[in-house]
Amino acid sequence: MTILPSTPDIAAGCTFAPAERTAAVCRAAQRFCGLRGWSVLGEMPLPNGRRADLLALLPDGGFAILEVKSCARDFLSDSKWPDYREYCDRLFFAVDLDFPQELLPEDAGLLVADGLEMAQLRDAPPHPLAPARRRALLHRFAMLAADRLSALTDPAGRAERRAALRVE
Q: 85: domain CATH number?
A: 3.40.1350.10
Longest dimension (CA), the chain: 50
Domain boundaries, position 115: 18-129
Q: How many domains does the chain have?
A: 1
Q: In this structure, is residue 92 part of a structural domain? A: yes
Inside any domain, residue 37: yes
The 10 Å Cβ neighbour count of residue 68 is 24
Question: Could you tell me if residue 52 is inside a domain?
Answer: yes
pTM passes above 0.75 = yes
CA pair distance 79, 133, nearest whole angstrom: 23
C-alpha span between 67 and 92 (Å, rounded): 6
pLDDT, tens digit (0-9, with 9 covering 90-100), for 52-73: 999 999 999 999 999 999 999 9
